Chains A and B, each alone.
Chain A
Amino acid sequence: MELLITIVSGLFLLVGSFLCLSGGVGIIRFPDFYTRMHAVGVTDTLGSVMILTGLMMQSSDLLVIAKLIMVLLLILLVGPTTSHVLAKAAFHNGLQPKGLSTENKHNNKESSSSNT
């Protein structure tokens, strides 16, 4: 039984670290701000959840597990929110996703100026 728990938690830790690493690769390789943020935001949340679950399996102390669950809840709540806020701030400041043509940019500017 103990062996099984060790193996499963090890798998969780490994997959979690891989996800975090892939997020790190994504932030370097992806072309513009929004895709980069997407890469980190998605993989980071799942990766840290995996790592925390793996750690929870390894600890026998109930208090430690409770604390890890608190951290897990915090990450689940805060991670997506920060990605959302970042994207929103970038969009409000007029950062265009790469690949939109210059024509589109022009149209957007006109419509935004007419709104205000």
Chain B
Amino acid sequence: MINIVLLSLLVVVAIGIIRMKDLFAVVMLTGIYGLLSASFFVAMDAVDVAFTEAAVGAGISTLLMLVVITMTGRKEKATRHKPFAALFVVVITGGLLVYGTLDMPLFGSADAPIHNHVAPRYLNDSMQEIGIPNVVTSVLASYRAFDTFGEVVVIFTAGIGVLAMLFAHRRREEDEKLAAINDSMHEKHLVIRIVTKMLIPFILLFALYVQFHGDYGPGGGFQAGVIFSSAIVLYAMLFGLSAARRVVNQGFIQLMAAFGVLCYGCVGIASLLNGGNFFDYNVLSNDPVAGQHLGILLIEWGVGVTVASIMIIIFFSFAGRREIQQYVEQNKNKESV
């Protein structure tokens, strides 16, 4: 029973996170937690979800937290008061929830209510209606496209929020000085630079494979976007932010984020204008199945572009903020000397 082992490990890691005072160790444990839950999702047949969780939970989120820790300090202060009240609340809530689970259907039972409503229709009819083997993709991009549109807009909004919170305009001469500091620092890491240079094209290629193979296997716009952005983030980490900004221009990437959402919305409008419902792809082409294929392709493309751009924007904002803080501190030190 591999799922029981994985779940027990998850509990152990969670307890470790509660007890640790060193934030660096906490963030590393969070990465392990993400990877463990991704393995659990594979054991539960949710390959698409596992894919996303491995890229997001173990990759990007750990990285972002590490960047923030370098700005805020890695030690947590010990709390003085005893947290009995919190423990009380947690135990009472947990006890009530455990009481609630006694009515739940047992794990893996095929006649649970969740399997009897809409899921059989997806599994039985989607091949004729949509014509692609991966049911997760057809539900995500066609049956529940409106839902997914909302999610993409939420991601877009969060990206704008981060940008508004952390964007700092810098003058050109500052930029050049920062670039010089970075170059001197990054030249030390020769081995990893060369290996990364070899790997980045393959990572980008893999992201495109995941993007376009999402109809037939695990994959799709969300995963592809995260993988694509991770290649750019890797480049930015090893070659400096200024070099990465020269590769993907900040203005361009902001434009692309908006363009992805626009592309998604336009597919909906196009189906409206063709006489169907919003996101009803059947009307996009003479043959309904071909219309579905076209609509899903365009929508996945929009999702991928938005997710990749937003992830890159978020990382650039954090890293840029950190560089400026370091620059200011260095200037202070010089003045005090």
Contact, chains A and B (beta carbon distance below 8 A): yes
Residue ranges of A at the interface with B (Cβ–Cβ < 8 Å):
77-78, 81, 84-85, 88
Least distance between B165 CB and chain A CB atoms (Å): 30
Once the chains are docked, how many angstroms separate the CA of A26 from the CA of B188?
A: 30
A85 adjacent to B199 (CB under 8 Å): no
Docked-complex contact A77 and B198, CB < 8 angstroms: yes
- CA separation between A54 and B192, bound complex, in Å? 29
Q: Using a CB-CB cutoff of 8 Å, which residues 190-229 of chain B contact chain A?
A: 191-192, 195, 198-199
Give the number of residues in B that approach A within 8 Å (Cβ atoms).
6
Give every chain A residue within 8 A of B195 (Cβ-Cβ): 77-78, 81
Q: CB distance B191 to A77 under 8 Å?
A: no
How many Å from the CB of A38 to the closest CB on chain B? Answer: 17
Contacting residues, chain A, for B198 (C-beta < 8 A): 77
- Identify 14 residue pairs between A and B in the complex whose beta-carbon atoms are under 8 Å apart, listed by A's number: A77-B195, A77-B198, A77-B199, A78-B195, A78-B199, A81-B191, A81-B192, A81-B195, A84-B191, A84-B192, A85-B189, A85-B191, A85-B192, A88-B189
Query: Which 3 residue pairs of A and B lie closest in terms of their CB atoms, listed nearest first?
Result: A81-B195, A85-B192, A84-B191
Give the complex CA separation of A85 and B194 in angstroms: 12
Q: A78 to chain B: which residues have CB within 8 Å?
A: 195, 199
* In the complex, chain B residues whose CB is within 8 Å of the CB of A77: 195, 198-199
| Cα A78 to Cα B234 with chains together (Å) | 13
Distance in Å: Cβ of A93 to nearest Cβ of chain B = 12
Q: Which residues B151-204 have CB closer than 8 A to chain A?
A: 189, 191-192, 195, 198-199
In the bound assembly, the distance between CA atoms of A11 and B69 in angstroms comes to 45
Min distance, Cβ B25 to any Cβ of chain A, angstroms = 14
Q: Which residues of B contact A81 (CB under 8 A)?
A: 191-192, 195
Taking A77-B195, A78-B199, A81-B192 as given, write out 11 further A-B residue pairs in contact, using a Cβ cutoff of 8 Å, ordered by the A residue number. Answer: A77-B198, A77-B199, A78-B195, A81-B191, A81-B195, A84-B191, A84-B192, A85-B189, A85-B191, A85-B192, A88-B189
- Complex: how many Å from CA A78 to CA B203? 13
A63 to chain B, nearest CB (A): 11
- Residues on the A chain within 8 Å of B189, using CB: 85, 88
**Which residues of the other chain, B, contact A84 by a CB distance below 8 angstroms?**
191-192
Give the distance in Å from the alpha carbon of A81 to the alpha carbon of B191 in the complex.
7
Residue among A77, A81, A85 with the most chain B CB within 10 A? Answer: A81
What's the minimum C-beta distance from B279 to chain A, rounded to whole angstroms? 33
> In the complex, what residue of chain B is closest to A81 when comparing beta carbons?
B195
Least Cβ–Cβ distance between B209 and chain A, in angstroms: 11
CB distance from B62 to the nearest CB of A (A): 15
1/0 per residue, CB under 8 A from A, across B7-35: the answer is 00000000000000000000000000000
Chain B hits for A85, CB < 8 A: 189, 191-192
Residue in A closest to B206 when the chains form the complex, CB atoms: A70
Chain A residue nearest to B191 in the complex (CB) = A84
Which chain B residues lie closer than 8 Å to A88 at the CB level?
189
What's the Cα separation between A84 and B191 when bound, in Å? 8
**Minimum C-beta distance from A115 to chain B (A):** 14
A88 CB to closest chain B CB, in angstroms?
A: 8
Tell me, rounded to whole Å, the shortest Cβ–Cβ distance linking A114 to chain B: 19
Expressed in whole angstroms, the minimum distance between the Cβ of A76 and any Cβ of chain B is 11
**How far is A97 from B104 in the complex, measured between Cα atoms in Å?**
54
Q: When chains A and B are docked, how far (Å) is the Cα of A85 from the Cα of B192?
A: 7
Min C-beta distance of A78 to chain B, whole Å: 7
